[in-house]
Structure 1
Amino acid sequence: MSTTKTIPLTLIALFAFAANSVFCRLALNSEQVPPLDFTVIRLISAAFVLAVIVILQNKIKLTQITNYGSYIGAVYLFIYAAGFSYAYVSLGTATGALVLFACVQFTMLFMAWLNGSRMGLQEYIGVLLSVAGFVYFVMPELEKPSLVGCILMAIAGIAWGLYSRVGSKSTQPLYDTASNFLRLIPISILGLAFVILNSELSITTMGWVYTIASGALASGVGYAIWYLVLPNLAPSIAAVCQLSVPIWAAAGGLLLVNEPLDMHMLVSATVILGGILLVILAKANR
Structure 2
Amino acid sequence: MPPRILLLTALAMLAFAGNSLLCRLALRETAIDAASFTAIRLACGALTLWLLLRLRTVRQPMAGNWPGALALFAYAAAFSFAYLQLDTGVGALLLFGAVQLSMLLWGLWRGERLGLAASLGTALAAGGLLALLLPGASAPPLAAALLMLLAGIAWGGYSLLGRGQGDPLAVTAGNFLRAAPLALLLALTLLPRLSWDGAGLCYALLSGALTSGVGYAIWYSALPGLRASQAATVQLSVPILAALGGALLLGEALSLRLLLSAGAVLGGIALVLGSRQRRAGS
TM-score scaled to structure 2, two decimals? 0.94
Which residue of structure 1 aligns with residue 192 of structure 2?
198
Distance in 1 of aligned mates of 2:195 and 2:118 = 49
In the TM superposition, 1:268-283 aligns within 5 A as 268-283=261-276
Deviation at 1:194, TM superposition (A): 5.4
Number of aligned residue pairs:
279
Distance in 1 of aligned mates of 2:94 and 2:121 = 17
2:59 match: secondary structure? coil
What are structure 1's unaligned runs of at least 5 residues?
A: none
Which residue of structure 2 aligns with residue 100 of structure 1?
95
Distance in 1 of aligned mates of 2:244 and 2:23 = 15
In the TM superposition, 1:171-250 aligns within 5 A as 171-191=166-186, 198=192, 202-250=195-243
1:184 match: secondary structure? helix
> 2:73·2:183 contact (CA, 8 Å) conserved in 1?
no
Change (3 A) 1:218 1:59: same
Instruction: Note if 1:166 corresponds to 2:165.
Output: no
Deviation at 1:32, TM superposition (A): 3.1
Question: Which one-letter code corresponds to 1:13 in the other structure?
Answer: A
Question: Which one-letter code corresponds to 2:21 in the other structure?
Answer: V
> 1:141·1:147 contact (CA, 8 Å) conserved in 2?
no
Which residue of structure 1 aligns with residue 37 of structure 2?
38
Distance in 1 of aligned mates of 2:136 and 2:233 = 27
Question: Which one-letter code corresponds to 1:123 in the other structure?
Answer: A
1:124-173 deviation line (CA, Å, top 9, x unaligned): 01011111111111103699771001100000000000111111223311
Question: Which one-letter code corresponds to 1:240 in the other structure?
Answer: T
Change (3 A) 1:238 1:143: closer
Which residue of structure 2 aligns with residue 50 of structure 1?
49
> 2:132·2:140 contact (CA, 8 Å) conserved in 1?
no
> 2:138·2:255 contact (CA, 8 Å) conserved in 1?
no
Deviation at 1:243, TM superposition (A): 1.1
Question: Which one-letter code corresponds to 2:6 in the other structure?
Answer: I
Deviation at 1:190, TM superposition (A): 3.6
Which residue of structure 1 aligns with residue 20 of structure 2?
21
Distance in 2 of aligned mates of 1:171 and 1:185 = 21
Deviation at 1:58, TM superposition (A): 4.1
1:91-147 deviation line (CA, Å, top 9, x unaligned): 000000000000000011011111121110110010111111111111036997710
Deviation at 1:257, TM superposition (A): 1.1
Aligned-residue Cα RMSD (Å) equals 1.9
> 2:138·2:257 contact (CA, 8 Å) conserved in 1?
no
Which residue of structure 2 aligns with residue 256 of structure 1?
249
Distance in 1 of aligned mates of 2:166 and 2:2 = 22
What are structure 2's unaligned runs of at least 5 residues?
A: none
Instruction: Note if 1:72 corresponds to 2:67.
Output: yes
Change (3 A) 1:148 1:278: same
Distance in 2 of aligned mates of 1:163 and 1:142 = 34
Change (3 A) 1:112 1:234: same
1:259 match: secondary structure? coil
Distance in 2 of aligned mates of 1:214 and 1:280 = 29
TM-score scaled to structure 1, two decimals? 0.92
2:84 match: secondary structure? coil
1:170 match: secondary structure? coil
Distance in 2 of aligned mates of 1:198 and 1:135 = 36
> 1:12·1:222 contact (CA, 8 Å) conserved in 2?
yes
Change (3 A) 1:141 1:70: farther
Which residue of structure 1 aligns with residue 4 of structure 2?
5
Change (3 A) 1:39 1:108: same
